[in-house]
Amino acid sequence: MNSWYSKGVEAFAGKHIDFDGDNIKALLATGTYTPNMDADQFVSDIPSLAIISRSPNLSGKSETGGVLNCSTVTFTLVTAGFLIPYVVFYQDTGADATSRLLFKYDTGQGLPVTSAGNNIAVQIDTGPYKLARL
- How many domains does the chain fold into? 1
pTM for the complete prediction?
Answer: 0.96
> Which pLDDT score is estimated for 127?
85
Domain coverage including residue 55: 3-133
Per the CB < 8 A criterion, the answer to whether 102 and 60 are in contact is: no
DSSP of the chain, one letter per residue? --EE-HHHHHHHHTT---TTTS-EEEEEE-TT----TTT--BGGGS-GGGEEEE-----S-EEETTEEE-PPEEE-SPPSS-EE-EEEEEE--SSTTT-BEEEEE-SSTT-SEE--SS-EEEPPP-STTSSEE-
Average pLDDT for runs of 10 along the chain of length 134: 92 94 97 97 98 97 93 95 97 98 88 95 88 88
pLDDT recorded at residue 125 = 85
**The pLDDT of residue 10:** 96
